[in-house]
Structure 1
């Protein structure tokens, strides 16, 4: 009987401990236990992210039936009053993958909700490791007709003209802070980061006009902050009623292009170097029209 009593006592103690461990914890209790609040979302990939085709449709094309610059009128060859329809910017073969030697997550998001001086703020800190971005081509085409059967619009077959090919972009680790609801940091998005190794890109710009056929090749363009091997990528980004605005940091830049070719890839004019490029109080606004 005594043995049964002891077993019952031990069992009741174990159940009590487990019951306490399974009690629901509020955010404050969780913070006291783990030492932190908020949500962390880690995004990682081994194969990278791929987008086969990306189309940005301009649904009304030109706002005028014909545009005139000096003695030149933009219209279909041999047509006095052409029909203006929808066109699309095309992006083919977009891939985003980890840069060489990057052992970090593709992206990490740290989400917190707070009250800052009576203002409710949703704060999202976004961090990325080194990334390699490759684009097969960027071009323009005539927009197709939307089909609800397969939920695609696409472009008219045979209408696409490739403008930029072989675009590669290498980015070092970056960090951006997003505030929604209110933005006590002074902008919806604040980029406060140093891109390790600077920004590196290569591309080819093609002339597909009737008299064209040649290209401008830019091989190995690298941008860094003056006096540094890295790039200071500070900027403020926000959205107004007029559109998206970007205010980059006021810091001088150095740029070096290893090879610039005109006409064909083997017709190089040499290398181009820019030292101490200062954008001053330049701001960028992107809007529709």
Structure 2
């Protein structure tokens, strides 16, 4: 049985802790006094992310007939330096809950500011068989490891009532434009372990038409979900975009092979374009 002096000490400790940590309701006013503003801001400092990414098609392609079998699309080879990768940087996320003024107008607004030097690497892309338990067999490379640079893109997500008209809205100015480096689409029947034959582009750059600094202005790319699937729409634009294809190669993609040169599309209008991703 607990002694009297032990009980007394315990009661004294509880009383002291109550005076130090008395609980009270947290209101917006109290939160603003504590943080300087309403809402929540989260800064995610990432030293770099690497992972092997696999998508499994559980029934394969029906057009192949009796040979149809489950397969996998794979990004990366299992090594940290050559997997699917996102470079390090700081992502700032600002979250606000808004009650609105009408029926069902409440929403959660999530502003996402991506790192200034945002870069995504795909890793080598390959196709393989799948045993249904996550194991892959007969791996065949179909595309090179590409780097996608998105310096300056911002995203805003709204859940509940979408005052901006869309679930996710992408805006911002991408410094030096969207750049895709080391694009290579391989002909699997001709390529071997030492030779890569296919369509190669040293760099694809997408920028504002006539922009001297090569920047790309994103005025409105919307992402929504409907009964069909994921829908991506270009809803606002300026004078169009230029698409530059530098170091274009057909056939042998090695650096020693002769390139065809460069190619361009100028003043391309994308407003009204739509992309839908769904199962089948």
Alignment TM-score, normalising by the size of structure 2: 0.79
Q: Secondary structure at the match of 2:146?
A: strand
1:218 match: 201
- Per-residue CA distance 1:39-66 (angstroms, 9 max, x = gap): 11111123x1111x2111111112x3xx
- Per-residue CA distance 1:202-221 (angstroms, 9 max, x = gap): 21111002699622111121
Q: Which has the larger radius of gyration?
A: 1
2:126 match: 139
2:4 match: none
What is the Cα deviation at residue 33 of structure 1? Answer: 5.2
Residue 50 (structure 1) aligned with residue 50 (structure 2): yes
Counting only pairs closer than 5 Å after superposition, residues 143-222 of structure 1 correspond to structure 2 as 143-146=130-133, 153-156=134-137, 159-202=138-181, 203-209=183-189, 214-222=197-205
- Distance in 2 (CA, whole Å) between partners of 1:49 and 1:225 is 30
- Per-residue CA distance 1:22-44 (angstroms, 9 max, x = gap): 96642222224544111111111
Contact 2:121 2:148 in 1 (8 A): yes
Residue 230 (structure 1) aligned with residue 220 (structure 2): no
1:30 match: 31
- Distance in 2 (CA, whole Å) between partners of 1:196 and 1:166 is 22
Contact 1:55 1:89 in 2 (8 A): yes
1:95 match: 85
Instruction: Give the one of 110, 124, 128 matched to 2:114.
Output: 128
2:267 match: 276
1:285 match: 276
- Distance in 1 (CA, whole Å) between partners of 2:56 and 2:223 is 24
Contact 2:125 2:145 in 1 (8 A): no
Contact 2:202 2:246 in 1 (8 A): yes
Q: Secondary structure at the match of 1:44?
A: strand
- Distance in 1 (CA, whole Å) between partners of 2:191 and 2:172 is 44
1:72 match: none
How many pairs were matched up? 242
- Distance in 2 (CA, whole Å) between partners of 1:262 and 1:20 is 71
Alignment TM-score, normalising by the size of structure 1: 0.77
- Distance in 1 (CA, whole Å) between partners of 2:71 and 2:21 is 64
RMSD over aligned Cα, in angstroms?
A: 2.4
Contact 1:250 1:281 in 2 (8 A): no
Q: Secondary structure at the match of 2:87?
A: strand
- Runs (4+) of structure 1 moved beyond 4 Å? 18-25, 210-213
- Distance in 2 (CA, whole Å) between partners of 1:117 and 1:61 is 50
Structure 2: gaps of 5 or more residues: 1-15, 77-82
Residue 109 (structure 1) aligned with residue 93 (structure 2): yes
2:59 match: 60
